[in-house]
Amino acid sequence: MSYFVRFLLLCCTVALAIPTYANALNERDAVVSRQTGKLQIRVHYPITGNARVDADVADWAHQAVDTFQNTYGEEPDLGVPYELETTYSTTRSTPSVLSIVWKTASYTGGAHGNLEITTTTYDMKSGALIDLYDVFENLDTALDVMSRYCTKALTKSLGDMYNDDMLRSGTAPEAENFSSFALTPEGIRIFFQPYQVAPWAAGSQVVDIPLDALADAGPRLSLWGK
């Protein structure tokens, strides 16, 4: 693993204060890896024991590897490998709801690497994906509540990295701004990409919103076992 990718994943893990892998309810780690003289690719993913979820997650991992290889396999030699490394953590609001947080670091040239935080949430009974639209009875209200809550929280936490224009744009009440989410026993966890709400040096940001703060949006309480 290159310095660029190792550094990004380390910063991400520390900043988000979540483990690289989780072993909740007997989840097991699997990895797809490919290495050539020009490419170094490793994508980790969990095996949960739910056949539908495992098939979907494995397909996502293999597609990520194929896409990176197809995109950069024929690019000019950089002198160092093009690199992709994906790790993950998991959270559960109940045993029957699983959120996977994907942390993808890559290096494709330039002064620094790239980092992206994405998430997928599953109903472990049916194996179906749970979208943000499925979490609330009133998504517009939820977006307004999350926008205000995150703006206030990040204004306090960003310190010297605070940038008013970036923060207001990145937390505007639009579904895309809150598409990287995980359900936790206490509520919902929102992940913001580098550059989304603050300069690159601030890294990724995370805000935990308690369930009671979302009451006006009508959260589907069954997702929290209530």
Q: Catalogue all structural domains in the chain, each as residue range(s) with its CATH number.
A: 28-130 (3.30.565.40), 133-224 (3.90.640.20)
User: DSSP secondary-structure letter at 171?
Assistant: T
Transcribe 29-75 into DSSP letters: EEEEEEE-SSEEEEEEEEE-S-HHHHHHHHHHHHHHHHHHHHHHTTS
Residue 1 is predicted with a pLDDT of 57
pLDDT tens-digit series, residues 50-65: 999 999 999 999 999 9
The predicted model gives 66-76 an average pLDDT of 90
Q: Which residue has 């310095």 as its token pair?
A: 3
pLDDT tens-digit series, residues 151-169: 999 999 999 999 999 999 9
Collapsing DSSP to helix, strand or coil, 144 comes out as: helix
Please tell me the pTM assigned to this model.
0.88
Phi, psi angle pair for 21, to nearest 5°: -130, 160
Residue 135 confidence class, pLDDT cut points 50, 70, 90: very high
Residue 10 is predicted with a pLDDT of 45
Helix and strand counts by DSSP (H, E) for the chain: 5, 8
* Type and span of the H or E element at 169: helix 164-170
Residue 25 is predicted with a pLDDT of 61
Buried (b) or exposed (e) across 162-201, using 16+ Cβ within 10 A?
Answer: beeebbeebbebeeebbebbbbbeebbbbbbbbebbbeee
**Residues 44 and 29: beta-carbon distance below 8 Å:** yes
Whole-Å CA distances, 58 to 44, 63, 121, 141, 143: 9, 9, 14, 34, 31
In 3D space, the residue among 169, 222, 180 whose CA is nearest the CA of residue 204 turns out to be: 180
